[in-house]
């Protein structure tokens, strides 16, 4: 359906946050969407929570897998079922700002682009902001993205009319990063909207909280998915580490400047 957005949400033991995630979709000012939630064989009561929303709004759909298969397979199952022109991603513990879809779809139409992303903030398990906005470049190419994954999964949207349905590689981790690289082999650039339109929830056991594991999975991505040599894979891992350190230093410097401004 033209301009319909298909929201892809994998769910696994998501009872703690799934209601808040769904509510952030229901609150969207852009209402032409469907939300496809794929339960990855959860053992908690998250499906009972989701099913209450199914009764309230028929745009929300639930697919139940008969065995635990991982986020990549869950997302790809949802993409298979998607009817929308636009494919958007939102995990079961993250949130969107109310104007996220409205602003981003308008941005994509104005830019005539196939893949877009936005800035986002990081929150803790209680929903409190724990650092400043994740800033992103206005556009990235395939070679740019190899050096640093600038695209937050919860912010990404791609246009199936331009590139067809593109599925995530079947990997344990970093399948979203691999997807953006896959798409950027088809197009010249992905474009970023310089506005904070989503909230990424940092969980204690998340990959993002374990920097060394993140480095390891990036290496496997470059070596196994991009088919780079060990040396070339290490080269791009080094770029990822360097850019991350620079971003951390920049954030700390900005925090210090703000502290001085308030103090004096």
The 10s digit of each residue's pLDDT in 76-92 is 999 999 999 999 999 99
Locate all alpha helices (DSSP H) within 27-131, ordered by sequence.
46-56, 71-81, 100-111
* Residue-wise pLDDT tens digits, 141-151: 999 999 999 99
pLDDT band at residue 213 using 50, 70 and 90 as cut-offs: confident
- How far apart (Å, rounded) are the C-alpha atoms in residues 40 and 37? 10
* Residue-wise pLDDT tens digits, 10-68: 999 999 999 999 999 999 999 999 999 999 999 999 999 999 999 999 999 999 999 99
pLDDT band at residue 251 using 50, 70 and 90 as cut-offs: low
- The CATH number, out of the four listed (3.30.360.10, 3.90.550.10, 3.30.750.24, 1.20.120.530), of the domain defined by the range 5-204: 3.90.550.10
- How far apart (Å, rounded) are the C-alpha atoms in residues 199 and 212? 23
The first and second tokens of residue 182, run together, are 């896959």
pTM surpassing 0.95? no
Across the chain, mean pLDDT equals 92
Q: Collapse the DSSP code of 130 into the 3-class scheme (helix H, G, I; strand E, B; otherwise coil) and give the result.
A: strand
Q: Which helix (H) or strand (E) holds 232?
A: helix 230-263
- Segments making up each domain of the chain, as ranges: 5-204
pLDDT given at position 214: 83
pLDDT given at position 185: 97
């Amino acid at each position: 359906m033209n301009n319909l957005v298909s929201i892809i949400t994998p769910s696994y033991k998501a009872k703690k946050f799934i209601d808040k995630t769904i509510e952030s979709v229901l609150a969207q000012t852009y209402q032409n969407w469907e939300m496809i939630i794929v339960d990855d064989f959860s053992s908690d009561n998250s499906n009972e929570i989701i099913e209450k929303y199914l009764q309230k709004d028929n745009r929300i759909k639930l697919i139940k897998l008969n065995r635990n298969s991982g986020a990549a397979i869950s997302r790809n199952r949802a993409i298979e079922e998607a009817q929308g022109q636009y494919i958007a991603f939102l995990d079961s513990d993250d949130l969107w700002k109310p104007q996220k879809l409205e602003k981003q779809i308008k941005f994509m139409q104005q830019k005539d682009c196939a893949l877009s992303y936005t800035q986002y903030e990081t929150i803790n398990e209680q929903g409190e902001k724990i650092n400043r906005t994740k800033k992103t470049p206005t556009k990235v190419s395939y070679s740019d993205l190899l050096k640093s994954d600038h695209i937050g999964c919860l912010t990404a949207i791609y246009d199936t009319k331009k590139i067809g349905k593109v599925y995530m590689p079947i990997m344990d981790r970093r399948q979203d990063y691999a997807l953006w690289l896959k798409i950027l082999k088809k197009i010249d650039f992905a474009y970023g909207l310089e506005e904070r339109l989503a909230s990424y929830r940092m969980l204690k056991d998340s990959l993002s909280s374990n920097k060394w594991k993140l480095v390891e999975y990036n290496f496997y991505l470059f070596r196994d998915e991009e088919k780079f040599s060990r040396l070339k894979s290490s080269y791009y891992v080094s770029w990822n580490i360097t850019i991350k350190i620079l971003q951390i230093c920049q954030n700390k410097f900005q925090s210090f400047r703000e502290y001085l401004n308030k103090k004096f």
